[in-house]
Structure formats: C-alpha cells, structure tokens
C-alpha cells in the first residue's frame, strides 16, 4: 500500500509516517518511481506506535514494542524488553499520581482553613453579567 492509504487506514498523516520512518520505527520499500510502499504488517506497527504515544510513551519507549511485533509476535507487549518499559512507565505514573494526591491534600487543607478563617472584612467581588 502507498503512504496515503497507510495514513488513512492508521488514522494518521503522511507526515507522521515519514517522521516514524525517519526514526527507524516504520519501514517502507521504494517502488521504481520512488514512492514509499508499505506491507500490511506496517499497519499493525503504526497502530501500536500511535496507541503507545497516546498514553504517554516516548519514541524511544516504543522501540521494544515495534521490535517485538517485527519478531512475529501478535502483540508488541509480550517481549521482555517491552515488559521492562511497561514496568518503568507504571512506576512513573504511580509517582505522578502520588504527587497529585499530595497537591490535592494540600489544596483541600488550605481551602478548609480559608473557609474556617475567612474574614467578613474582605472585599466582595462584583461579577459582571
């Protein structure tokens, strides 16, 4: 299939596909006239890349998943290197959740304190309609 068809079927742009190719993630053959020609397996690869990028993985994180697919596996996450990336990403996400929980608690404490100690002398805001 040509780049336009792959882009359409994968739900992305031809520019994005060329970007993935430049980073060694997507493979294309060249026809006699120089057009990029992709086989059906590249559609699975592009979908895997897009899915991983959508949940916060970087291009370097994606490489083991692509290699796993290229090794003939039905999924990119079944290989040991992919599992390592998943574990590392899970640790990162848990750390962000912990930080957000601490921020939430701090805001809740500050709000509770502010409500309990608000002053009647504070200027009242007039809202425009």
Angle (nearest 5°) at CA 48 between 42 and 53: 125
pLDDT score for 127: 61
Average pLDDT over residues 55-76: 96
Using CA atoms, how far apart are residues 49 and 77, in angstroms rounded to an integer? 12
Could you please state the CATH topology (level 3) that the domain comprising 3-116 is classified under: Multidrug-efflux Transporter Regulator; Chain: A; Domain 2 (1.10.1660)
Using CA atoms, how far apart are residues 91 and 42, in angstroms rounded to an integer? 30
pLDDT score for 37: 95
Contact (Cβ atoms closer than 8 angstroms) between residue 52 and residue 62:
yes
Contact (Cβ atoms closer than 8 angstroms) between residue 96 and residue 68:
no
Q: Does pLDDT of 99 surpass 80?
A: yes
Average pLDDT over residues 52-66: 96
Angle (nearest 5°) at CA 37 between 34 and 43: 150
How high does pLDDT run on average in the chain? 93
């Amino acid at each position: 299939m040509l780049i336009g068809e792959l882009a359409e079927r994968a739900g992305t742009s031809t520019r994005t596909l060329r970007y993935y190719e430049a980073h060694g993630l997507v493979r294309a053959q060249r026809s006699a006239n120089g057009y990029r020609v992709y086989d059906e397996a590249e559609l699975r690869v592009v979908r895997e890349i897009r899915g991983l990028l959508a949940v916060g993985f970087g291009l370097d994180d994606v490489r083991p998943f692509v290699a796993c697919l290229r090794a003939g596996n039905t999924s990119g996450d079944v290989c040991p290197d992919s599992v390592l990336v998943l574990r590392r990403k899970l640790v990162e996400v848990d750390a962000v959740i912990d930080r957000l929980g601490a921020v939430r608690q701090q805001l809740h404490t500050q709000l509770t304190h502010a409500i309990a100690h608000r002053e009647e002398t504070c200027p009242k805001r007039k809202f425009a309609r």
